[in-house]
Amino acid sequence: MRKGFVWLSLLFIVLIIAVGAWRVADNRDVSKSEFLMGTYMEVRAIGRRAPTALEKVFARLREIEERMTQHSSGSEIAAVNAKAGSEPVRVSEDTFFVIEKALEYSRLTGGMFDPTIQPIVKLWQIGSPEARVPSPAEIEANLPLVDYRAVQLDPTQKSVFLPKAGMGLDLGGIAKGYAADEAVAILKAHGVKKAIINLGGNVYVLGTNPNNEPWRIGIQDPENQRNQFIAIIRAQDATLVTSGPYERFLKVGDTVYHHILNPATGYPADTGLLSVTIVASRSIDADALSTSVFALGREAGLELINNLAGVEAVVIDNQYRVFTTEGIRDQLTITDPKYTLMP
């Protein structure tokens, strides 16, 4: 009788240890970072299979970069651009989907978001050591090459054709959003329920934080160094993407030229805004919309967002005024007294 009791006691202890070990494994908190798509990307995931999930995530991020970057001659986008005016190029389903989405936002914004801006981007090269201010004649000569309506897609062949020689696609305003969504899908497939993904300003928060509360995401101070915030947004299962002139710029004398270009003029968008943050459920949408709203300006940009379901915006102008859509106000806290939340 006593021997049986001892064995039962030992079995009970073993079960307690096993359950405890399982719970510890289920709360594994791991992070991984890597320089991809021209920025530092970091993912923090909590879960039993989080280490494996992170390896899969970064393998997928590298795959997306290899297909969609315009900075490598071996990418699919580079192949499409090289064959402009010559012949269609077949691409992967990934690249085709992102181009389709980019053109969808081009139509939605009347061309203020235009992935065929590449010839103008190439003139400015803002963010690279070769950055310069192109001449008005150069811009005028290249503007006719910017026209999203000219892009020809064949859904059956998954091919892309740019009909004019010199045309080019630049997916820099949308590809990171797609990459964030793919990262989320991989994490969920591996049972990860809590994570934060930061792909160089494209943030996605999965579930709640380790304290089972909404994640607190800072909005960058547009006039200060990184990790200086003017407001905090509380969010879960949502993406937050911020665009602003402080991200990449060229200063010549007293003049600052930022990287968000107006497709209609070929010059940096001058809308009196310091930053735009979009909150949505899909990062590919938030990525394209943050650039779009910045280029459209406050009034037209907020009008656009108010007509879209499940999308919110925080817009900061150069008078330090903060404007928001109604659905995000209760989740936003201004932390810098220099900025005023407008009614």
* Segment 168-178, tens digit of pLDDT: 999 999 999 99
Residues 327, 223 share a domain: yes
The pLDDT confidence band at residue 9, using thresholds 50, 70 and 90, is: low
Residues 221, 125 share a domain: no
pLDDT tens figures, 236-277: 999 999 998 777 777 777 777 788 999 999 999 999 999 999
Q: In the prediction, which pLDDT does 38 show?
A: 85
Residues 222, 122 share a domain: no
CATH number at 118 reads 1.10.3980.10
Residues 227, 144 share a domain: no
Residues 337, 218 share a domain: yes
* pLDDT for 224 beyond 80: no
The number of domains in the chain is 2
Q: In the prediction, which pLDDT does 317 show?
A: 96
The whole domain housing 276 covers 214-341
Q: Which has the minimum average pLDDT: 21-35, 54-68, 144-158, 207-221?
A: 21-35
The pLDDT confidence band at residue 20, using thresholds 50, 70 and 90, is: very low
Residues 147, 235 share a domain: no
* pLDDT for 5 beyond 60: no
Domain annotation covers residue 142: yes
Residues 222, 140 share a domain: no
pLDDT tens figures, 182-199: 999 999 999 999 999 999
Of 161, 195, 227, the last residue of a domain is 161
* pLDDT for 233 beyond 90: yes
* pLDDT for 1 beyond 50: no
Percentage, residues of the chain above pLDDT 90: 78
Residues 329, 222 share a domain: yes
Using the Cα atoms of residue 253, residue 258, residue 259 and residue 265 in order, give the sign of their dihedral.
Answer: negative
As beta bridge partners, residue 196 has 44, 205
CA-CA-CA-CA torsion for 125, 130, 132, 134, nearest 10 degrees? -70
Residues 325, 225 share a domain: yes
* pLDDT for 117 beyond 80: yes
Mean pLDDT of the 195-212 span = 94
Domain annotation covers residue 115: yes
Q: Provide DSSP, 152-196.
A: EEETTTTEEE--STT-----TTTHHHHHHHHHHHHHHHTT--EEE
Domain annotation covers residue 104: yes
Of 161, 181, 199, the last residue of a domain is 161
Q: In the prediction, which pLDDT does 253 show?
A: 75
Residues 323, 242 share a domain: yes
Higher local confidence (pLDDT), 224 or 79: 79
Domain annotation covers residue 139: yes
Report d(CA 119, CA 117) in Å as an integer: 6
Domain annotation covers residue 28: no
Mean per-residue pLDDT of the chain:
90
Report d(CA 304, CA 21) in Å as an integer: 50
Q: In the prediction, which pLDDT does 254 show?
A: 75
Residue 100's Cβ-side half-sphere holds a number of Cα atoms within 13 Å equal to: 12
CATH number at 286 reads 3.10.520.10
Residues 222, 149 share a domain: no
Domain annotation covers residue 6: no
* pLDDT for 210 beyond 60: yes
Domain annotation covers residue 25: no
Domain annotation covers residue 33: no
Mean pLDDT of the 310-321 span = 96
